[in-house]
Amino acid sequence: MELPFKPVGPRRTFEGAVEQIAEQVRLGELSAGDRLPSERDLAAAMQISRATLREAVRVLADAGVLEVKPGSAGGIFVASDYVPLELLRSKSDLRLGEVAGVLEARRLFEPRVAQLAALNAREEDFAHLARILEAQKKLLAEGDVLEHEDRFLQLDTQFHLRIARATGNSTIVSLMRTLLRRLEIARDLALHEPPVAPWVIDIHERTLAAIRSADHQRIEEVMDEHLAGMERAWQQATDRALVRPVPDFLRPVAERARRDGA
Amino acid sequence: MELPFKPVGPRRTFEGAVEQIAEQVRLGELSAGDRLPSERDLAAAMQISRATLREAVRVLADAGVLEVKPGSAGGIFVASDYVPLELLRSKSDLRLGEVAGVLEARRLFEPRVAQLAALNAREEDFAHLARILEAQKKLLAEGDVLEHEDRFLQLDTQFHLRIARATGNSTIVSLMRTLLRRLEIARDLALHEPPVAPWVIDIHERTLAAIRSADHQRIEEVMDEHLAGMERAWQQATDRALVRPVPDFLRPVAERARRDGA
DNA sequence: TCCCAATGGATTCTTTTTAGACCAAGCTTG
DNA sequence: CAAGCTTGGTCTAAAAAGAATCCATTGGGA
pLDDT band (50, 70, 90) for residue B71:
confident
Say if residue A140's pLDDT is above 80: yes
pLDDT band (50, 70, 90) for residue B2:
very low
Say if residue A211's pLDDT is above 70: yes
Say if residue A193's pLDDT is above 80: no
Name the 3-class secondary structure at A109.
Answer: helix
Cβ–Cβ below 8 Å for B46 and A17 = no
Rg of chain A over Cα atoms, rounded to whole angstroms, equals: 20
Say if residue A205's pLDDT is above 90: yes
| B 206-225 → A contacts, CB under 8 A | 216
Q: Does the CB of A116 have a partner CB in chain B at under 8 Å?
A: yes
Strands (E) in chain A, as ranges, are 35-36, 66-69, 75-78
Say if residue B18's pLDDT is above 70: yes
Q: Does the CB of B112 have a partner CB in chain A at under 8 Å?
A: yes
Q: What secondary structure does DSSP assign to B192-216, as a single string?
A: -----HHHHHHHHHHHHHHHHHT-H
Q: Which residues of B touch A251 (CB under 8 A)?
A: none
Name the 3-class secondary structure at B144.
Answer: coil
Of the listed ranges A141-150, B6-15, B32-41, the least confidently predicted one is: A141-150
Nearest CA in chain A to B117: A247
Question: What φ, ψ does residue A40 adopt, rounded to 5°?
Answer: -65, -45
Alpha helices in A4-91 (DSSP H): 13-26, 39-46, 50-62
Nearest-5° Cα angle at A33, A28 to A34: 65
| Substitution target from B2, B8, B18 for chain A, most A beta carbons within 10 A | B8
Q: What is the pLDDT of residue A243?
A: 66
State the CB neighbour count (10 A cutoff) for residue A139: 20
Q: What is the pLDDT of residue B145?
A: 65
CA distances from B180 to A262, B173, B186, B215 (A): 42, 10, 9, 25
Say if residue A202's pLDDT is above 60: yes
Say if residue B156's pLDDT is above 70: yes
Q: Does the CB of B97 have a partner CB in chain A at under 8 Å?
A: no
pLDDT band (50, 70, 90) for residue B192:
low
- In terms of pLDDT, which residue wins out, B247 or B240? B247
Q: What is the pLDDT of residue A163?
A: 98
Q: Output b/e per residue, B134-155; b: 16+ Cβ within 10 A.
A: ebbeebeeeeebeeeebbbbbb
- In terms of pLDDT, which residue wins out, A197 or B134? B134
The amino acid at residue A222 is V
Q: What is the mean pLDDT of residues B213-241?
A: 89
Of the listed ranges A89-98, A133-142, B22-31, B173-182, the least confidently predicted one is: A89-98
Say if residue B238's pLDDT is above 80: no
Say if residue A192's pLDDT is above 70: no
Q: Which residues of A touch B219 (CB under 8 A)?
A: none
Q: What are the tens digits of pLDDT across the range A39-55?
A: 999 999 999 999 999 99
Q: What is the pLDDT of residue B3?
A: 52
Give the distance from residue A2's alpha carbon to the nearest chain B alpha carbon, in angstroms: 11
* Region for B47 from its dihedrals, namely left if φ exceeds 0, alpha if ψ lies in -120 to 50, beta otherwise: left
Cβ–Cβ below 8 Å for A175 and B105 = yes
Nearest CA in chain B to A8: B46
Q: What is the mean pLDDT of residues B66-95?
A: 84
Q: What are the tens digits of pLDDT across the range A71-122?
A: 888 789 999 988 888 888 776 678 888 889 999 999 999 999 999 999 999 9
Q: Which residues of A touch B216 (CB under 8 A)?
A: 249
pLDDT band (50, 70, 90) for residue A157:
very high
Q: Is the CB of A34 under 7 A from strand C?
A: no
Q: What are the tens digits of pLDDT across the range B133-146?
A: 999 999 988 877 66
Nearest amino-acid residue to D5, taking CA and C1': B72
Of A6, A102, A169, the CB nearest to B104: A169
Cβ–Cβ below 8 Å for A16 and B8 = yes
Q: CA A29 – C1' D24 distance (Å)?
A: 33
Q: CA B256 – C1' C25 distance (Å)?
A: 68
Residues near A18 by beta carbon (within 8 Å), at least 6 away in sequence: A56, A59, A60, A87
Q: CB–CB of A29/A21 below 8 Å?
A: no
> A–B: how many Cβ contacts below 8 A?
144
Q: Is the CB of A76 under 7 A from strand C?
A: yes
Cβ–Cβ below 8 Å for A8 and B48 = yes
pLDDT band (50, 70, 90) for residue A195:
low
- In terms of pLDDT, which residue wins out, A144 or A163? A163
CA distances from B214 to A213, B207, B257 (A): 34, 11, 22
Nearest to A107 by CA among A183, A197, A195, A29: A183
For the full predicted model, state whether its pTM sits above 0.85. yes
| B 168-207 → A contacts, CB under 8 A | 169-172, 174-175, 178-179, 182
Of the listed ranges A179-183, B108-112, B239-243, the least confidently predicted one is: B239-243
Name the 3-class secondary structure at A12.
Answer: coil
Q: Which residues of A touch B42 (CB under 8 A)?
A: 5
Angle between helices B99-120 and B170-189 (to 10 degrees): 150
Listed ranges A109-123, B37-51, B237-251; the one with the highest mean pLDDT: A109-123
Nearest CA in chain B to A36: B3
DSSP label at residue A65: S
Q: What is the mean pLDDT of residues A147-153?
A: 83
Give the distance from residue B145's alpha carbon to the nearest chain A alpha carbon, in angstroms: 29
Q: What is the pLDDT of residue A235?
A: 84
Q: What is the pLDDT of residue B241?
A: 66
Give the distance from residue B142's alpha carbon to the nearest chain A alpha carbon, in angstroms: 34
Q: What is the mean pLDDT of residues B123-150?
A: 88
pLDDT band (50, 70, 90) for residue B65:
very high
| B 30-59 → A contacts, CB under 8 A | 37, 41-42, 45-48
- In terms of pLDDT, which residue wins out, A168 or B10? A168
Q: Does the CB of A114 have a partner CB in chain B at under 8 Å?
A: no
| B 55-94 → A contacts, CB under 8 A | 92, 94
